[in-house]
């Protein structure tokens, strides 16, 4: 699954420049194959098993204990599926890319390979390699095919992530050295590192290093400042993949590594992480309300929504963590859909300023309906996917963090305010501007791009049980590990003992 996009990128790179128009169908074909493989993994996944399935393992450098170890569990399963699902949709939406088609498609396929590698890696060095490999194609996607300030945005994105990666690498090397002392040989295998006896003081330092790397990637307040610039300057598909999948590398890292490897530190720092999450929820929503740029508004909404995922993660409860994991997927779907819709109107009007619109529902009723539907999903309307994750997060965090949970609940209200107010200004009222009166509604290709997203948003909202059944055992195992290896604060009732 990882190497299919790499093969596709290599084939696309060899296309003669005069035939570069065939890069898109080739890229689409390879991404469709990956989607088929991911669908098979989801379908055949044993939902009652908390362990890693479909595992592959081979030695890369035995002297250093580095292995090619891949596997998927309930936590990574849906993120693999999300990556495979969004990529062909993004490629179909790439009609606005007018130059260097083959380079663009090669970058997209390498991005997919890197993302899949991150979610499937069970060796920390391998994880780090994919974590860094992903940066390169995203840097070029923003820096070459982005907006006027694309070079600045790409460099800011790269530097922020690189700073976090330095802390991550230091922590990984330290764990390998500790494994060498305790096991007699170095190893970076995740399943082996779980058996390390790490003193609490060391856990705290390692937790901070890993958490900094992942908090920048989320991005968690106050490490969020790179995100609005990257979103605004990225091409539409870059924004879709950035919001849909790349940001989940941070939240996934917190769930996969920080909680199981450093259980006592996770309990000790839970209050700090919850506080930052709630600040991000409210801050992101308030800043979104005052944005004049519709794309920047959606970018700040991500800061708010991702705060819910971090809140659920550090509730350290099965309900909260399940809500956080499914919210990773739900946010990827709804925010990816919003960025696609913003890109579709930008291709027609070439402006992102809300004040340049007004009353366009009269000439674009299908577009208006899809935007309103997606806004409702993003705001957490019951019956749509956004409600499921946020409800579980709030339910799971209330027992241990009641004040933070009540404050975070206001973020749901604020989301409805900034999304519906944006809808009112863009779509309702008189259509007075001449530039808007001749706008064409969505064509068949654009409607076809949106239909799969709409279908999955409804399915996960109405019937989330299949997803939660697959997430549940792995989440329970993480919570059980934290409660088994950590001393819980007074007043915290253990769920598993």
Quickly count: other Cβ atoms within 10 Å of residue 144's Cβ. 17
> DSSP string covering 58-94, please?
EEEEGGGTEEEEEEE-HHHHHHHHHHHHHHHHHHHTG
pLDDT surpassing 90 at residue 13: no
HSE of 219 in the Cβ direction (CA atoms, 13 Å)? 21
Gap between the Cα atoms of 367 and 346, Å rounded: 12
Gap between the Cα atoms of 241 and 24, Å rounded: 17
Burial environment of residue 366 by CB neighbours within 10 A (0 to 12, 13 to 18, 19 or more): middle
**pLDDT value for 372:** 94
CA distances (Å), 174 to each of 75, 77, 213, 245, in order? 25, 28, 15, 28
Instruction: State pTM to two decimals.
Output: 0.91
pLDDT surpassing 50 at residue 321: yes
For residues 22-42, one letter each, b for 16 or more C-beta atoms within 10 angstroms of the residue's C-beta and e for the rest, the string is ebbebbbebbebbbeebeebb
Mean pLDDT over 101-113 rounds to 89
pLDDT surpassing 70 at residue 117: yes
Q: pLDDT-based confidence at 102, cuts 50/70/90?
A: confident
**pLDDT value for 494:** 63
DSSP 21: G
pLDDT digits (tens, 9 = 90+) for 432-460: 788 888 889 899 999 999 999 999 999 99
Of 177-186, 273-282, 331-340, the poorest mean pLDDT is in: 177-186
Quickly count: other Cβ atoms within 10 Å of residue 236's Cβ. 23
HSE of 81 in the Cβ direction (CA atoms, 13 Å)? 24
**pLDDT value for 452:** 95
Q: Which two tokens stand for residue 54?
A: 């479909």
**pLDDT value for 495:** 62
The SS3 of residue 187 is coil
Q: pLDDT-based confidence at 497, cuts 50/70/90?
A: very low
pLDDT surpassing 60 at residue 30: yes
pLDDT surpassing 60 at residue 293: yes
The SS3 of residue 388 is helix
198 phi/psi in degrees, rounded to 5: -105, 120
Q: pLDDT-based confidence at 162, cuts 50/70/90?
A: confident
Q: Identify the CA nearest to 316 among candidates 386, 208, 385, 401.
A: 401
pLDDT digits (tens, 9 = 90+) for 176-186: 999 998 888 88
Q: How do the domains of the chain map onto residue ranges? A: 269-487
């Amino acid at each position: 699954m990882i190497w299919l996009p790499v093969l596709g990128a290599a084939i696309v790179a060899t296309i003669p420049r005069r035939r570069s128009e065939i890069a898109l169908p080739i890229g689409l074909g390879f991404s469709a194959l990956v989607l088929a493989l991911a669908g098979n993994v989801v379908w055949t996944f044993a939902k009652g098993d908390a362990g890693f399935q479909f595992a592959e393992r081979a030695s890369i450098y035995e002297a250093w204990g580095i292995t090619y170890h891949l596997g998927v569990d309930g936590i990574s399963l849906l993120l693999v599926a999300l990556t495979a699902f969004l990529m062909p949709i993004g490629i179909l939406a790439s009609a606005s890319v007018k130059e260097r088609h083959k380079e663009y498609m090669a970058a997209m396929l390498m991005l997919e390979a890197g993302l899949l590698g991150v979610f499937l890696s069970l060796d920390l060095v391998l994880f780090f390699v994919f974590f860094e490999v992903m940066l390169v194609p995203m840097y070029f996607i923003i820096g070459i095919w982005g907006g006027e300030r694309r070079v600045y945005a790409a460099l800011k994105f790269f530097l922020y992530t690189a700073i976090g990666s330095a802390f991550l690498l230091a922590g990984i090397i330290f764990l390998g050295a500790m494994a060498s002392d305790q096991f007699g040989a170095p190893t970076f295998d995740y399943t082996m590192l779980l058996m390390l006896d790490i003193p609490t003081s060391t856990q705290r330092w390692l937790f901070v290093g890993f958490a900094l790397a992942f908090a920048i990637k989320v991005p968690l307040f106050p490490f969020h400042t790179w995100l609005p610039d990257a979103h605004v300057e990225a091409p539409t598909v870059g924004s879709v993949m950035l919001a849909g999948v790349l940001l989940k590398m941070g939240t996934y890292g917190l769930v996969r590594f920080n909680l199981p490897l450093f259980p006592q530190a996770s309990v000790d720092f839970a209050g700090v992480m919850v506080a930052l999450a709630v600040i991000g929820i409210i801050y992101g929503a308030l800043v979104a309300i005052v944005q004049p740029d519709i794309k920047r508004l959606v970018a700040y909404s991500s800061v708010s929504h991702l705060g819910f995922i971090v809140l659920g993660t550090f509730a350290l409860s099965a309900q909260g963590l399940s809500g956080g994991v499914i919210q990773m997927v739900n946010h990827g779907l709804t925010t990816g859909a919003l960025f696609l819709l913003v890109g579709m109107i930008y291709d027609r009007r070439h402006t992102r300023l809300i004040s340049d619109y007004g009353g366009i529902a009269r000439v674009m009723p299908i577009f208006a309906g899809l935007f309103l539907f997606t806004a409702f999903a993003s705001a957490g309307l019951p019956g749509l996917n956004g409600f499921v994750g946020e409800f579980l997060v709030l339910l799971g965090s209330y027992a241990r963090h009641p004040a933070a949970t009540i404050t975070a609940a206001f973020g749901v209200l604020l989301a409805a305010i900034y999304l519906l107010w944006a809808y009112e200004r863009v779509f309702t009222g008189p259509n007075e501007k001449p530039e808007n009166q001749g706008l064409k509604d969505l064509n068949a290709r654009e409607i076809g791009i949106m239909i799969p997203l709409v279908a999955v948003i409804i399915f996960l909202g109405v019937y989330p049980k299949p997803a939660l059944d697959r997430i549940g055992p792995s989440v329970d195992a993480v919570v059980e590990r934290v409660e088994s290896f950590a001393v819980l604060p007074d007043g915290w009732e253990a769920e598993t003992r």
